[in-house]
Structure 1
Amino acid sequence: MKYAVHIASVRSALHHHLILELQSSTVFELTEDATRSDVVIIDVVDGQDTTDLAARIPRTALCVVLSTAQGAQDHDATRADEHTALETLQGPWLILRCAPFGQELLTSLRYLYNETIFTSWGPGGAAWLDLHDVVAVMEAAVGDTTRRNVAYDLTGPEVLNMEQVCHLIEQHINSSVFYVELDEDQHVQAMARTGLSETYARRRAQYMHLTTQDGYRAQPTETILRALGRQPRPLRDYLLDPLSEIVAQARDQWG
């Protein structure tokens, strides 16, 4: 038996990757019909209004909220978003406060221009988290009633700053790679050229800046080790496989 998973919202940088992870899962199966879901995923970083969910999902469905893991300086707005996502739902919930995903970093590399990464990720980087590990935590939690109505902070095994990320990429593509941080307005202008709305682009820029900022940056946790009995996967283990194709596409498109 597989658990039916409905994706109510997810940030666009993760959507394709999440679909692939769920399709390959031995525990989950995707459903577009919220009324037959066993698990509902709500990504508060996406910012989409999901208040109509309560009328459509079973009360027994597990609501998995994807949020942000942060450091010593907590972010009240994010916690308010978590509360909004849960307040209209009657069933059990699980909050996964996640460091920035390595898969989100891959999306940034699609806009590589003249061997330069133009991005709103801050220079201090992040404890980049593998989406595969997050789905594995969900798989472990869905059948375990002791993992209900709790919040977990999930991170990768180490913080890699953007200089280290560039070095990792350089080793793989045998070419120098540079990093330029964009401010919020520059990021909005760049994303607008790809057809994205200003509202989405600005929210995205704020998220990228905040989660890689000193004081807000999540430090590595042992949550995945405790949940899965293994360390989280380091960025180099899953970033490099698709990297050559992504860089080639970026060079063809942007130069």
Structure 2
Amino acid sequence: MVNNSKILVTGGRGKTGSRIAKRLTDLGYAVRTADRGTSAPGSTNEHVTFDWYDETTYEPAIKNVDSIYLVGPLAVMDPSKMMVPFLERAVEAGVRRVVLLSSASVPEGGPVFGKVHQVIGQLVPEWAVLRPSYFMQNFTEGHHGAQINSDGVMITATGSGRVGFVDADDIAEVGVRALIDEQPHNTDHIITGPDSFSYAEAGEIIGAAAGRTIQHVNISTEELAAGMMKFGMAEDYAHFLAGLDEAIRLHGTEDQVTDTVQRVTGRPPKSLKDFAIAHASHWKQN
């Protein structure tokens, strides 16, 4: 891959997409970001509107592009119905490399992005699938971040199951290498931090950095799914997400530590302790 190639970053405002776009730009690559909204704050990259549910937005996104960072539609049980036709059109338009964001909890051929993972190697000449564990940023953003700040708790159905929490910066750096390394990766990457922790242990680490008590509250899988549906999530997707927590509790599906970040990027992954220290002000009470 060379610096005059154009790289499309879908989900350009997301946790990984925004980081990948910035890093590629800093390295001198021509980047086009794409999502349903405007470009990320402070971004100087070309930006186009992109909507998985509007096929008229596909062609402007993939025009003159040879690599794509691919983030699928949110909260859809079978995004392959949209993503596979998009990939077929992208390859026809000249795209040669695609890096797909999936999840460590979702195997090839599994639900949601697992179907896209299953076919990507048949559709695209050069490819990689990022399968990160749970983001450390979930503790500063979204429902866990809000729960910690409002009530000093994290609510899951994971019990004492452990998770290899990983920093989005490390996920993004693996993604950048998969996009620009001369040799295509043509594999999936399970991406974790350097340790796995239960949510109770994570709460202790974050609490120590923030100077407050943060507790894990375990609820049933059914209660977790019901809570998601209460906030408008579709029933099938709510049960899918709650089922991931159940699998962590019963089968240890996220209790793993890999060397992917070190091996692919040449640098060690950030620890949860270092992440907590760096973001301690986010959780400190006034």
Q: TM-score, normalized by length of structure 1?
A: 0.77
Query: CA–CA distance in 2 between the matches of 1:45 and 1:128?
Result: 21
State the Cα distance separating 1:133 from its structure 2 match: 0.9
Matching residue's letter, 2:272: L
Deviations 1:30-82, CA, capped at 9 Å, x for gaps: 422431342131459954342331344244342212233369xx786258524
State the Cα distance separating 1:136 from its structure 2 match: 0.8
Query: SS of the counterpart of 1:152?
Result: strand
State the Cα distance separating 1:92 from its structure 2 match: 1.8
State the Cα distance separating 1:19 from its structure 2 match: 4.1
Which residue is 2:54 aligned to? Answer: none
5+ long unaligned stretches in structure 1: none
Of 45, 61, 69, 2:104 maps to 69
Q: Is the 8 A contact 1:170 1:176 kept in 2?
A: yes
Of 88, 91, 109, 2:125 maps to 91
Matching residue's letter, 2:133: A
Taking structure 1 as reference, are residues 173 and 144 closer, same or farther at Cα in structure 2, changes over 3 Å only?
closer
Which residue is 2:86 aligned to? Answer: 53
Query: CA–CA distance in 2 between the matches of 1:94 and 1:200?
Result: 25
Which residue is 1:40 aligned to? Answer: 69
State the Cα distance separating 1:150 from its structure 2 match: 1.7
- RCO higher in structure (CA 8 A, sep ≥6): 1
State the Cα distance separating 1:123 from its structure 2 match: 2.2
1:197 aligns with 2:197: no
Superposition RMSD on alpha carbons, in Å? Answer: 3.3
Of 261, 264, 268, 1:231 maps to 268
Which residue is 1:102 aligned to? Answer: 136
Q: Is the 8 A contact 2:166 2:193 kept in 1?
A: yes
Which residue is 2:53 aligned to? Answer: none
Residues matched between the structures, number:
242
1:183 aligns with 2:220: yes
Taking structure 1 as reference, are residues 62 and 35 closer, same or farther at Cα in structure 2, changes over 3 Å only?
same
State the Cα distance separating 1:157 from its structure 2 match: 0.4
Q: Is the 8 A contact 1:188 1:205 kept in 2?
A: yes
Which residue is 1:24 aligned to? Answer: 22
Which residue is 2:207 aligned to? Answer: 170
Query: SS of the counterpart of 1:117?
Result: strand
Point out the structure with max Rg over C-alpha. Answer: 2
Query: CA–CA distance in 1 between the matches of 2:253 and 2:74?
Result: 15
Taking structure 1 as reference, are residues 140 and 212 closer, same or farther at Cα in structure 2, changes over 3 Å only?
farther
Query: SS of the counterpart of 1:111?
Result: helix
Deviations 1:186-240, CA, capped at 9 Å, x for gaps: 1122223433333332222223333465442342111211112221111233345
Q: Please, which moves more after superposition, 104-113 or 238-247?
A: 238-247
Matching residue's letter, 2:9: H
Query: CA–CA distance in 1 between the matches of 2:108 and 2:120?
Result: 18
Query: CA–CA distance in 1 between the matches of 2:229 and 2:187?
Result: 38
Taking structure 1 as reference, are residues 88 and 151 closer, same or farther at Cα in structure 2, changes over 3 Å only?
closer
Query: CA–CA distance in 2 between the matches of 1:20 and 1:90?
Result: 24
5+ long unaligned stretches in structure 2: 35-59
Taking structure 1 as reference, are residues 212 and 105 closer, same or farther at Cα in structure 2, changes over 3 Å only?
farther
State the Cα distance separating 1:114 from its structure 2 match: 3.0
